Protein backbone atom coordinates (compact mmCIF):
# COMPACT_ATOMS: atom_id res chain seq x y z
CA UNK A 1 0.00 0.00 0.00
CA UNK A 2 2.80 2.27 1.01
CA UNK A 3 4.82 1.43 -2.12
CA UNK A 4 1.92 2.11 -4.49
CA UNK A 5 1.41 5.51 -2.89
CA UNK A 6 5.08 6.24 -3.35
CA UNK A 7 4.93 5.22 -7.02
CA UNK A 8 1.93 7.45 -7.57
CA UNK A 9 3.70 10.40 -6.02
CA UNK A 10 6.78 9.73 -8.15
CA UNK A 11 4.63 9.66 -11.28
CA UNK A 12 2.86 12.86 -10.31
CA UNK A 13 6.20 14.52 -9.66
CA UNK A 14 7.56 13.37 -13.00
CA UNK A 15 4.42 14.58 -14.78
CA UNK A 16 4.71 18.00 -13.11
CA UNK A 17 8.36 18.19 -14.16
CA UNK A 18 7.52 17.18 -17.71
CA UNK A 19 4.68 19.68 -18.01
CA UNK A 20 6.87 22.45 -16.62
CA UNK A 21 9.57 21.52 -19.08
CA UNK A 22 7.12 21.46 -22.01
CA UNK A 23 5.60 24.78 -20.96
CA UNK A 24 9.02 26.33 -20.88
CA UNK A 25 9.75 24.80 -24.28
CA UNK A 26 6.56 26.35 -25.63
CA UNK A 27 7.69 29.66 -24.22
CA UNK A 28 10.95 29.33 -26.15
CA UNK A 29 9.10 28.28 -29.28
CA UNK A 30 6.80 31.29 -29.06
CA UNK A 31 9.86 33.48 -28.57
CA UNK A 32 11.34 32.42 -31.90
CA UNK A 33 8.05 33.08 -33.74
CA UNK A 34 7.61 36.66 -34.95
CA UNK A 35 6.04 38.82 -32.23
CA UNK A 36 2.72 40.56 -32.68
CA UNK A 37 4.13 44.08 -32.82
CA UNK A 38 6.52 43.15 -35.61
CA UNK A 39 3.71 41.45 -37.50
CA UNK A 40 1.34 44.41 -37.01
CA UNK A 41 3.97 46.84 -38.28
CA UNK A 42 4.95 44.68 -41.23
CA UNK A 43 1.69 43.23 -42.44
CA UNK A 44 -0.96 45.54 -41.00
CA UNK A 45 -4.04 43.49 -42.04
CA UNK A 46 -3.63 39.82 -41.29
CA UNK A 47 -4.66 36.98 -39.01
CA UNK A 48 -2.92 33.92 -37.70
CA UNK A 49 -4.90 30.97 -36.44
CA UNK A 50 -2.35 28.80 -34.66
CA UNK A 51 -3.70 25.93 -32.61
CA UNK A 52 -0.97 23.50 -31.54
CA UNK A 53 -2.22 19.99 -30.91
CA UNK A 54 0.10 19.66 -27.93
CA UNK A 55 1.80 22.24 -25.78
CA UNK A 56 4.52 22.72 -28.38
CA UNK A 57 3.87 22.64 -32.10
CA UNK A 58 5.38 21.36 -35.35
CA UNK A 59 3.66 24.15 -37.32
CA UNK A 60 5.27 27.54 -37.43
CA UNK A 61 4.79 30.89 -39.14
CA UNK A 62 7.42 33.29 -40.25
CA UNK A 63 7.61 36.92 -41.24
CA UNK A 64 10.62 39.01 -42.15
CA UNK A 65 11.26 42.35 -43.84
CA UNK A 66 14.32 42.39 -46.05
CA UNK A 67 15.20 45.42 -48.08
CA UNK A 68 12.02 46.19 -50.00
CA UNK A 69 10.45 42.77 -49.59
CA UNK A 70 8.28 41.08 -47.01
CA UNK A 71 8.78 37.36 -46.61
CA UNK A 72 6.05 35.27 -45.00
CA UNK A 73 5.87 31.55 -44.58
CA UNK A 74 3.78 28.82 -43.00
CA UNK A 75 5.64 25.63 -42.21
CA UNK A 76 4.50 22.21 -41.15
CA UNK A 77 7.21 19.91 -39.81
CA UNK A 78 6.95 16.12 -39.77
CA UNK A 79 5.39 15.02 -36.50
CA UNK A 80 3.96 17.20 -33.80
CA UNK A 81 4.77 17.80 -30.16
CA UNK A 82 8.41 17.93 -29.15
CA UNK A 83 9.96 16.43 -32.35
CA UNK A 84 7.89 18.76 -34.51
CA UNK A 85 8.82 21.71 -32.33
CA UNK A 86 12.52 20.95 -32.59
CA UNK A 87 12.20 20.76 -36.38
CA UNK A 88 10.24 24.02 -36.43
CA UNK A 89 12.92 25.83 -34.43
CA UNK A 90 15.49 24.45 -36.85
CA UNK A 91 13.35 25.67 -39.78
CA UNK A 92 13.04 29.18 -38.37
CA UNK A 93 16.79 29.39 -37.63
CA UNK A 94 17.67 28.20 -41.11
CA UNK A 95 15.23 30.68 -42.68
CA UNK A 96 16.92 33.47 -40.73
CA UNK A 97 20.31 32.21 -41.90
CA UNK A 98 19.28 31.95 -45.54
CA UNK A 99 17.73 35.43 -45.52
CA UNK A 100 20.75 36.99 -43.89
CA UNK A 101 22.99 35.74 -46.73
CA UNK A 102 23.58 37.60 -49.96
CA UNK A 103 21.63 36.86 -53.08
CA UNK A 104 18.22 37.52 -54.63
CA UNK A 105 15.15 37.19 -52.40
CA UNK A 106 13.20 34.63 -54.38
CA UNK A 107 10.88 32.07 -52.75
CA UNK A 108 12.18 29.14 -54.84
CA UNK A 109 15.77 30.03 -54.03
CA UNK A 110 14.95 30.41 -50.33
CA UNK A 111 13.31 26.96 -50.26
CA UNK A 112 16.23 25.45 -52.20
CA UNK A 113 18.76 26.87 -49.75
CA UNK A 114 16.60 25.92 -46.77
CA UNK A 115 16.39 22.35 -48.04
CA UNK A 116 20.19 22.13 -48.32
CA UNK A 117 20.48 23.17 -44.69
CA UNK A 118 17.86 20.70 -43.49
CA UNK A 119 19.42 17.84 -45.46
CA UNK A 120 22.84 18.68 -44.17
CA UNK A 121 21.71 19.05 -40.55
CA UNK A 122 19.86 15.72 -40.67
CA UNK A 123 22.64 13.96 -42.65
CA UNK A 124 20.22 13.04 -45.40
CA UNK A 125 21.91 11.55 -48.47
CA UNK A 126 19.18 9.46 -50.03
CA UNK A 127 20.11 6.23 -48.26
CA UNK A 128 17.39 3.83 -47.25
CA UNK A 129 17.62 3.77 -43.48
CA UNK A 130 18.49 7.37 -42.81
CA UNK A 131 16.40 10.04 -41.13
CA UNK A 132 13.56 11.17 -43.43
CA UNK A 133 12.27 14.16 -41.43
CA UNK A 134 11.36 17.19 -43.47
CA UNK A 135 8.95 20.12 -43.53
CA UNK A 136 6.18 21.24 -45.84
CA UNK A 137 6.02 24.95 -46.43
CA UNK A 138 4.33 27.73 -48.34
CA UNK A 139 6.56 30.77 -48.68
CA UNK A 140 5.72 34.16 -50.21
CA UNK A 141 7.75 37.22 -50.97
CA UNK A 142 5.74 40.43 -51.36
CA UNK A 143 7.13 43.56 -52.94
CA UNK A 144 4.87 46.39 -51.65
CA UNK A 145 6.23 48.91 -54.13
CA UNK A 146 5.41 46.87 -57.22
CA UNK A 147 2.57 44.84 -55.62
CA UNK A 148 4.19 41.71 -56.96
CA UNK A 149 3.72 38.54 -54.95
CA UNK A 150 6.02 35.59 -55.49
CA UNK A 151 5.34 32.18 -54.06
CA UNK A 152 7.00 28.78 -53.90
CA UNK A 153 5.54 25.79 -52.12
CA UNK A 154 6.86 22.55 -50.70
CA UNK A 155 3.72 20.37 -50.72
CA UNK A 156 1.60 23.28 -49.37
CA UNK A 157 -0.40 25.50 -51.78
CA UNK A 158 -1.34 29.17 -51.65
CA UNK A 159 -4.94 30.39 -51.92
CA UNK A 160 -5.53 33.79 -53.41
CA UNK A 161 -8.99 35.36 -53.12
CA UNK A 162 -10.12 38.36 -55.11
CA UNK A 163 -13.79 39.39 -55.14
CA UNK A 164 -14.78 36.06 -53.63
CA UNK A 165 -12.99 34.11 -56.36
CA UNK A 166 -10.40 31.69 -55.05
CA UNK A 167 -7.34 30.84 -57.11
CA UNK A 168 -5.12 28.02 -55.92
CA UNK A 169 -1.44 28.06 -56.77
CA UNK A 170 -0.20 24.53 -56.61
CA UNK A 171 3.03 23.71 -54.83
CA UNK A 172 5.88 21.46 -55.91
CA UNK A 173 5.19 18.04 -54.52
CA UNK A 174 8.36 17.59 -52.54
CA UNK A 175 9.23 18.60 -49.00
CA UNK A 176 11.96 20.82 -47.62
CA UNK A 177 14.26 17.91 -46.83
CA UNK A 178 15.09 14.64 -48.51
CA UNK A 179 12.56 13.66 -51.16
CA UNK A 180 11.46 10.17 -52.16
CA UNK A 181 13.05 10.72 -55.57
CA UNK A 182 15.89 13.05 -56.53
CA UNK A 183 15.34 16.61 -55.41
CA UNK A 184 14.52 19.28 -57.98
CA UNK A 185 14.58 23.03 -57.75
CA UNK A 186 11.42 24.57 -56.35
CA UNK A 187 9.27 26.52 -58.80
CA UNK A 188 8.82 30.23 -58.44
CA UNK A 189 5.32 31.61 -59.11
CA UNK A 190 4.56 35.28 -59.50
CA UNK A 191 1.35 37.33 -59.53
CA UNK A 192 0.28 40.94 -59.48
CA UNK A 193 -1.91 41.86 -56.48
CA UNK A 194 -4.70 44.38 -56.28
CA UNK A 195 -5.83 46.24 -53.13
CA UNK A 196 -8.16 44.06 -51.09
CA UNK A 197 -6.73 40.79 -52.35
CA UNK A 198 -6.23 38.20 -49.64
CA UNK A 199 -3.85 35.27 -49.61
CA UNK A 200 -3.85 32.32 -47.27
CA UNK A 201 -1.04 29.94 -46.49
CA UNK A 202 -1.59 27.10 -44.05
CA UNK A 203 -0.69 23.67 -42.80
CA UNK A 204 -2.90 20.63 -43.46
CA UNK A 205 -4.15 20.52 -39.84
CA UNK A 206 -7.43 22.39 -40.50
CA UNK A 207 -8.70 20.41 -43.51
CA UNK A 208 -7.48 17.14 -41.99
CA UNK A 209 -9.33 17.58 -38.69
CA UNK A 210 -11.85 14.83 -38.01
CA UNK A 211 -15.30 15.74 -36.76
CA UNK A 212 -18.75 16.69 -37.95
CA UNK A 213 -21.76 14.38 -37.82
CA UNK A 214 -19.89 11.41 -39.37
CA UNK A 215 -16.47 11.89 -37.75
CA UNK A 216 -14.92 12.65 -41.12
CA UNK A 217 -12.17 15.01 -42.25
CA UNK A 218 -13.13 18.64 -42.80
CA UNK A 219 -11.46 18.43 -46.25
CA UNK A 220 -10.16 21.05 -48.66
CA UNK A 221 -13.42 21.71 -50.52
CA UNK A 222 -15.32 23.03 -47.46
CA UNK A 223 -12.11 24.75 -46.32
CA UNK A 224 -11.98 26.72 -49.58
CA UNK A 225 -15.71 27.48 -49.40
CA UNK A 226 -15.34 28.75 -45.85
CA UNK A 227 -12.46 31.03 -46.86
CA UNK A 228 -14.45 32.36 -49.83
CA UNK A 229 -17.51 33.00 -47.65
CA UNK A 230 -15.61 34.92 -45.01
CA UNK A 231 -13.06 36.61 -47.28
CA UNK A 232 -14.93 39.96 -47.25
CA UNK A 233 -14.95 40.13 -43.47
CA UNK A 234 -12.24 41.76 -41.40
CA UNK A 235 -9.19 39.62 -40.77
CA UNK A 236 -9.94 39.52 -37.06
CA UNK A 237 -13.46 38.23 -37.76
CA UNK A 238 -12.08 35.71 -40.23
CA UNK A 239 -9.79 34.31 -37.56
CA UNK A 240 -12.62 34.05 -35.05
CA UNK A 241 -14.92 32.40 -37.55
CA UNK A 242 -12.27 29.91 -38.67
CA UNK A 243 -11.64 29.05 -35.03
CA UNK A 244 -15.33 28.75 -34.25
CA UNK A 245 -16.03 26.50 -37.23
CA UNK A 246 -13.19 24.09 -36.56
CA UNK A 247 -13.93 23.94 -32.82
CA UNK A 248 -17.54 23.11 -33.60
CA UNK A 249 -16.50 20.58 -36.28
CA UNK A 250 -14.08 18.87 -33.92
CA UNK A 251 -16.68 18.55 -31.17
CA UNK A 252 -15.48 16.06 -28.58
CA UNK A 253 -12.94 14.42 -30.84
CA UNK A 254 -9.24 15.04 -30.19
CA UNK A 255 -7.32 17.45 -32.38
CA UNK A 256 -5.34 15.29 -34.82
CA UNK A 257 -2.58 17.69 -35.81
CA UNK A 258 -1.33 21.21 -35.29
CA UNK A 259 -3.46 23.83 -37.06
CA UNK A 260 -2.04 26.91 -38.72
CA UNK A 261 -3.65 29.41 -41.09
CA UNK A 262 -1.88 32.61 -42.04
CA UNK A 263 -4.16 35.06 -43.86
CA UNK A 264 -2.96 38.39 -45.22
CA UNK A 265 -4.95 41.16 -46.87
CA UNK A 266 -3.01 43.54 -49.06
CA UNK A 267 -4.03 47.17 -49.07
Partner 1 sequence: MQLVAFRIQNFRSIVDTGWHQLAHDNITSLIGQNESGKTSILEALKAFHDGQLIEDMLRSDLSLPEVACRFNFQYVELEARIDKRRISPEIRKLIPTVDTISIKRRWENDIDSHMVMAGELQEIFDESEEQNRQREQKIQENLEQLKRNIETAGNELQQATDEVDWTREKVESIKLRINELKRKIRKFTTRKNKETLKTELTEEEVLLDKLKQTLKKKIVKQEEKRDILDALDEKHRVSSRMEKIEEQINQKKEALAQAQAQLKQILQLSGMYTTEKEKRAAEIQEEIHRTDTESLKGEIAALQHDYHTHLLAMEFIFEGMSIDSAIPAAEKELKSLNKFYSSKELAEEIFKILPDFELFEDFSSLLPNRIDLEDIVRANKGAEGYKAAINFLTITGLDYSFFQQPSNRILKQKIENLNGELTLNFQDFWRQNVGKNNKIKVNFELSYYDHTHPEKSGKPYIEFWIKDEQERLYPKQRSRGVRWFLSFFLELKATAMDRSQQNKLLLIDEPGVSLHARAQEDVLKVFDDIRERIQIIYTTHSPHLIDVNKLYRILAVQRAIADDMNSETLVFSARSLKSATADTLSPIYATMGAQLSQQEIIKSSNNVIVKDLATYYFLKAVTAITGFKKACYFLPASGAESIPMMVNILIGWGIDYIILNFGNSEERTVYEKMIQEHYDNKIDLAKQKMVLLDEYPDTEDLFSTIDFKKYVVKVREGITVKNSDYLKDNNYSRALIASGFLQEVNDGQVSYKKLDEESRENLDQFVAQLASMLK
CA 111, 115, 118: angle at the middle one, nearest 5?
135
Among 80, 117, 189, 265, which residue interacts with partner 1 (rule: CB under 8 A)? Answer: 117
CA distance linking residue 258 with residue 267, whole number of Å? 30
Give the nearest distance from C-beta 70 to partner 1 in angstroms: 22
Q: Are 183 and 115 in contact (CB under 8 A)?
A: yes
Positions of E strands within 179-253: 189-192, 198-202, 210-211, 216-217
Write out the binding residues for partner 1, residues 51-110 only, by CB under 8 A. 108-109
DSSP symbols for 131-159? ---EEEEEEEEEETTTTEEEEEEEB--EE
CA nearest to 229, candidates 168, 161, 150, 167: 161
Query: Between residues 178 and 227, which has the closer beta carbon with respect to partner 1?
Result: 178
Query: Between residues 126 and 251, which has the closer beta carbon with respect to partner 1?
Result: 126
Query: Between residues 150 and 203, which has the closer beta carbon with respect to partner 1?
Result: 150
155 binds partner 1 (CB under 8 A): no
Among 92, 113, 193, 227, which residue interacts with partner 1 (rule: CB under 8 A)? Answer: 113
Give the nearest distance from C-beta 145 to partner 1 in angstroms: 22
Query: Between residues 49 and 113, which has the closer beta carbon with respect to partner 1?
Result: 113
174 binds partner 1 (CB under 8 A): no
178 binds partner 1 (CB under 8 A): yes
Phi and psi dihedrals of 232, rounded to 5? -90, -5
> Footprint of partner 1 on this chain (CB under 8 A)?
108-109, 112-113, 115-126, 178, 182-185, 188
Amino acid sequence: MKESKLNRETLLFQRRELMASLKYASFIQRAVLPDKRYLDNTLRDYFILHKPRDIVSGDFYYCMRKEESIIVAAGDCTGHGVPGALMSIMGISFLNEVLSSRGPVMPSRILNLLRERVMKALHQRGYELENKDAMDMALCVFHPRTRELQYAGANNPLYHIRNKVLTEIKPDFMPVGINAIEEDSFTNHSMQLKPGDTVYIFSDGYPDQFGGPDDKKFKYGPFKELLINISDRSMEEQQKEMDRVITKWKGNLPQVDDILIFGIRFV
